[in-house]
Amino acid sequence: MTLKSLYARAVRKLKGVVLVDSHIHPSSKVEPGSHVVGSTFDRHSYCGYDCSILYADIGAFCSLANHLTIGGAHHPLDYVSTSPVFLSHKDSVSEKFARHDYLPLVRTRIGNDVWVGDRAMIRAGVSIGDGAVVGMGSVVTRDVPPYAIVAGNPARLLRMRFEQRIIDGLLALRWWDYDDDELRRIGPLIPDPEALLREKGIT
């Protein structure tokens, strides 16, 4: 590793993490530069550098890359103005011309074993199914089924990771709920979904 890359890494680490009203499982990790508000991370999940995650529930074993935007605030579309200068909650603007109560906290759900690629954006209120993959740079505006691979702007289905029989078996298996000892035991079977399902008596 060069001196320049070591310096860049050190600067990145110095950014720190902003966690507000959030619960991160002890086995999970939020990298520096990320801002996490009103959210939860289940076990063995991580998000990379410079992510913005607002009011989201992140499942177990999720791999969230750098520069992601997940969730966000809503603005009133049926008011005369969408500006927060007319709303009661605290925000980025200093002047208030009215104080109407409007702050719907729409939650976003990221299932278990989800992989989200670099610079993806996921709209507030969307649900990403277990085992799904979101391609880098994607803009996700609607729910993603379990084990789907989506990409693009707006994100569209490219293909399913497995045939439906395997998907149904994995959803029934719920391996992400296993304790660490059982995960170590089944670890050698992870490259072969069929073998794991057979071993567990799910065909």
Structure confidence at residue 120 (pLDDT): 98
> Is residue 19 domain-shared with residue 42, that is, in the same domain?
yes
> Is residue 56 domain-shared with residue 116, that is, in the same domain?
yes
Query: Residues 98, 101, 107, CA angle at the centre, nearest 5°?
Result: 135
Tens of pLDDT, residue by residue over 62-87, are: 999 999 999 987 788 888 888 888 88
**Residue 18 covered by a domain:** yes
Active centre residues (catalytic): 75
How does residue 109 score in pLDDT terms, banded at 50, 70 and 90? very high
CA distances from 53 to 6, 89, 96, 107, 133 (A): 27, 19, 26, 11, 18
**Residue 196 covered by a domain:** yes
Domain that holds residue 180: 162-203
User: 33-55 burial, b if ≥16 CB within 10 A, otherwise e?
Assistant: bbebbbbbbbbbbbbbbbbbbbb
**Residue 5 covered by a domain:** no
Structure confidence at residue 54 (pLDDT): 95
Structure confidence at residue 95 (pLDDT): 86
Structure confidence at residue 170 (pLDDT): 98
> Is residue 157 domain-shared with residue 142, that is, in the same domain?
yes
- Give mean pLDDT, residues 46-69: 97
Structure confidence at residue 96 (pLDDT): 84
**Residue 2 covered by a domain:** no
Structure confidence at residue 185 (pLDDT): 96
Structure confidence at residue 2 (pLDDT): 73
With 0-12 / 13-18 / 19 or more C-beta atoms within 10 angstroms meaning exposed / middle / buried, residue 56 is: buried
**Residue 57 covered by a domain:** yes
**Residue 144 covered by a domain:** yes
Tens of pLDDT, residue by residue over 4-26, are: 655 555 555 556 888 999 999 99
Tens of pLDDT, residue by residue over 143-197, are: 999 999 999 999 999 999 999 999 999 999 999 999 999 999 999 999 999 999 9
> Is residue 140 domain-shared with residue 177, that is, in the same domain?
no
**Residue 29 covered by a domain:** yes
> Is residue 55 domain-shared with residue 141, that is, in the same domain?
yes
With 0-12 / 13-18 / 19 or more C-beta atoms within 10 angstroms meaning exposed / middle / buried, residue 8 is: exposed
> Is residue 145 domain-shared with residue 174, that is, in the same domain?
no
User: For the chain, what is the domain count?
Assistant: 2
- Give mean pLDDT, residues 115-120: 98
Is the pLDDT assigned to residue 90 strictly greater than 80?
no
- Give mean pLDDT, residues 106-113: 96
Structure confidence at residue 136 (pLDDT): 97
**Residue 91 covered by a domain:** no
In terms of pLDDT, which residue wins out, 138 or 94?
A: 138
pTM (2 d.p.) = 0.86
